Amino acid sequence: MKFLAKARSLSVKRILQSRPALVTGREIHRLRAENARYRSLFDAAPIGHFTLDTSFRILEINSVGAAMLGTSAEDLHRTSFISNIISADRISVSNLLSEIAKVGERTVSTSLQVSDNTIPVMLHLTAVYSSGHTVPSSDYRFHVAILDLSEHHETQNNLRIARDGLQHVAHHDPLTRLPNRCGLMEQLRLTLDTKSNSKTALLLLDLDHFKQVNGPLGHHIGDKLLREVASRLLNAVSEIDTVGRLGGDEFAIILRDLSTASDATVIAEKITDALAEQYVSASYDIRLSASIGISVFPDHTDNPKQLLSFADAAMNQAKQRGRNLIQFYTAALNTRLTERFELERDLRIALRESQFELYFQPQYDIRAASITGYEVLLRWNHPEQGIIGPESFIEVVEETGLIDPLGDWILSESCKKLVELRRNNPNIKFSVNVSAKQFVSGNLQDRIARILQTTGVPANAIELELTESALLENGDHSLNMLQDLRAAGVELAIDDFGTGYSSFSRLQKLPVTRVKIDRSFVQDIPDNHSNCSIVKAIISVAHELGIEVVAEGVETHQQLEFLKAAACDILQGYYVGRPCTFEQISDNASFSKEESDLAVA
């Protein structure tokens, strides 16, 4: 349109406006030259230009304009311009043209009708008065500039297709092709927005112990199973329902058009039956169960986000009650949800206001007959409730992602304390617990290296305690990270050994330096013969593999005797010493007595 304005000011205004009463030959020559320039501009413009009389007949047309209408300028001369507009817009364009006689100019989008084709265009309509002024006068013409939008439309179309594609990717899970969390929430919002008297149920489904299937069998089979689960879920519900995958082994189902809330239970039972059927292949033979949480619109809430959190609370309740269960959302769960929300908020405050503290539990080396290290244990010094153990909050810390900053604080604080302790006891080591979630963020090894460097603690003075699930959950990713850490000199221990699914053959592949036999095997030795055998077996195989063994939860003298006889390397437990503050452990005297007692034992 700028182009047109320029051409117009060059041509009509200057030629008409400046025409003198008497024109000299030189001026005629100049005017002709200017007119020719204007004509070529008029013709070459990538815009169709038309001049119309007051009856909208075409007086002048440039070649682009003629080409747009698929004919020659001569054939169009004095024909109706309006007849080239699609029939639906003819009246409105005529009205607009009549109007601009008064208002000067207008822009409108419409389409040209050329034979059987319609061409999307933008029209810029101007009234040009013969006096050269754009003020209303009885003597005027119309100037129409037409911009062909078909290419623009094509680009728009392509953009739309690309956008739709991206939208699809953003809303779908590539593995199962089901809507993902984003897609499912979109659907849920749309469903709840639709006015209806029927009920909508949201089912949240988590496969029980799927990680333990996925880990040993490998991700390839895990993926195959998830696709099979997706197809069983789709078969179990009706066409108006939506099945989505929220991530990992968690699925969600929107059940629409239910007359009663208990209809959802019937469908949920159908789903659990479908999932329970065997998954058979040459390499495996598996049965799966699921924990299902159900929330209902409008009974529980009309807010989609809340409906999801209610279903989630119900699902977690199903898991806690022993899995393979269907649980409806209840108001009592809401109380739990509120409590959990408050805990999350308080934990953030705790981190900000340094309410966390470290306790240290001694590890007694039987061979050296001395305390050679401490396990660092987290405590929350709550402003009202006092000291709180990690079992009541660590899960929430992990789920909220607070574990990353907190884990960094634990390690750097441990290192600072260790530097202090090593001034008097240069060989003392610390074992620091690392949760599975800390492995997910990806740069754990770099963060650890940085902390060791800034505090000046040698890598081999720190042992990281990892659970078997941490090692299983992240597969190769964890293994690479462990190898990097080990290569840097950091010691690695498997915590709670025996409670997970690690096998000795797997143990052999991991770069671990220690295993910690879980307290549950230690607590009833020497009376429980099978536990005695398990403990002896772990010790002997670990030693075969060159791995040290720590026994956890040693509380009695008999346990100590048994473990000593079984050639266990290190003991930890209340019998050796309870977790205590840094002040207590830096006071060497408090341990000298216990150490000598233990050595005598």
Could you give the CA distance from residue 513 to residue 50 in angstroms, rounded to a whole number?
A: 87
Q: Which residue lies nearer to ligand C2E by CB, 45 or 410?
A: 410
Torsion angle, CA of 501/506/512/517, rounded to 10 degrees? 40
Smallest separation (angstroms) from ligand C2E to the CB of 171: 35
Could you give the CA distance from residue 601 to residue 590 in angstroms, rounded to a whole number?
A: 18
Q: Work out whether 373 is an interface residue with ligand C2E (CB under 6 A).
A: no
**Could you tell me which of 95, 83, 82, 44 has the C-alpha nearest to residue 65?**
44
Could you give the CA distance from residue 435 to residue 528 in angstroms, rounded to a whole number?
A: 31
Q: Work out whether 378 is an interface residue with ligand C2E (CB under 6 A).
A: yes
Choose among Ca ion, ligand C2E, none what residue 526 binds, the Cβ cut-off being 5 to 8 Å by kind. none
Q: Tell how strand 462-467 and strand 491-497 pair up.
A: parallel
Q: Is 201 helix (H, G, I), strand (E, B) or coil?
A: strand
DSSP element (H, E) containing 548: strand 548-551
* Among positions 104, 216, 248, 390, the unique one binding ligand C2E when judged by CB under 6 A: 390
Q: Work out whether 473 is an interface residue with ligand C2E (CB under 6 A).
A: no
DSSP element (H, E) containing 513: none
- Quote the longest CA-to-CA distance of the chain: 131
Query: With CB under 6 A, what is the number of residues at the site for ligand C2E?
Result: 21
* Among positions 116, 139, 239, 391, the unique one binding ligand C2E when judged by CB under 6 A: 391
Q: Which residue lies nearer to ligand C2E by CB, 129 or 430?
A: 430
The amino acid at residue 33 is: A
Choose among Ca ion, ligand C2E, none what residue 573 binds, the Cβ cut-off being 5 to 8 Å by kind. ligand C2E
DSSP element (H, E) containing 344: helix 331-352
Tell me which residues in 476-505 interact with Ca ion (CB under 5 A): 495-496
- Which part of the chain contacts Ca ion (CB under 5 A), choosing from 70-78, 136-144, 312-320, 431-439? 431-439
Could you give the CA distance from residue 525 to residue 366 in angstroms, rounded to a whole number?
A: 18
Smallest separation (angstroms) from ligand C2E to the CB of 407: 6
Distances (CA, A) of 388 to 340, 374, 379, 434: 16, 20, 6, 19
φ and ψ at 498, to 5 degrees? Answer: 105, -20
Q: Which residue lies nearer to ligand C2E by CB, 295 or 572?
A: 572
Q: Which residue lies nearer to ligand C2E by CB, 268 or 550?
A: 550
Neighbouring C-alpha atoms within 13 Å toward the C-beta of 93: 26
Q: Work out whether 498 is an interface residue with ligand C2E (CB under 6 A).
A: no
Pattern 523-562, Ca ion, x by CB under 5 A? -----------------------------x----------
* Residue 51 and residue 60 in contact, taking contact as beta carbons nearer than 8 Å: yes
Smallest separation (angstroms) from ligand C2E to the CB of 344: 17
Q: Which residue lies nearer to ligand C2E by CB, 250 or 495?
A: 495
Choose among Ca ion, ligand C2E, none what residue 574 binds, the Cβ cut-off being 5 to 8 Å by kind. ligand C2E
Choose among Ca ion, ligand C2E, none what residue 553 binds, the Cβ cut-off being 5 to 8 Å by kind. ligand C2E
Q: Work out whether 525 is an interface residue with ligand C2E (CB under 6 A).
A: no
φ and ψ at 452, to 5 degrees? Answer: -60, -40
Residue nearest to ligand C2E (CB): 573
Say which residues have a Cβ less than 8 Å from residue 305's Cβ, sequence separation at least 6: 185
Say which residues have a Cβ less than 8 Å from residue 162's Cβ, sequence separation at least 6: none
Smallest separation (angstroms) from ligand C2E to the CB of 377: 4
- Which part of the chain contacts ligand C2E (CB under 6 A), choosing from 141-149, 310-318, 553-561, 583-591? 553-561
* Residue 517 and residue 549 in contact, taking contact as beta carbons nearer than 8 Å: yes
* Among positions 165, 218, 383, 389, the unique one binding ligand C2E when judged by CB under 6 A: 389
Q: Is 574 helix (H, G, I), strand (E, B) or coil?
A: coil
Q: Work out whether 110 is an interface residue with Ca ion (CB under 5 A).
A: no
Partners of 435 in beta bridges: none
Q: Work out whether 363 is an interface residue with Ca ion (CB under 5 A).
A: no
Binding site for Ca ion (CB under 5 A): 433, 465, 495-496, 552
Binding site for ligand C2E (CB under 6 A): 361, 376-378, 389-391, 394, 410, 433, 435, 465, 495-496, 519, 553-555, 573-574, 579
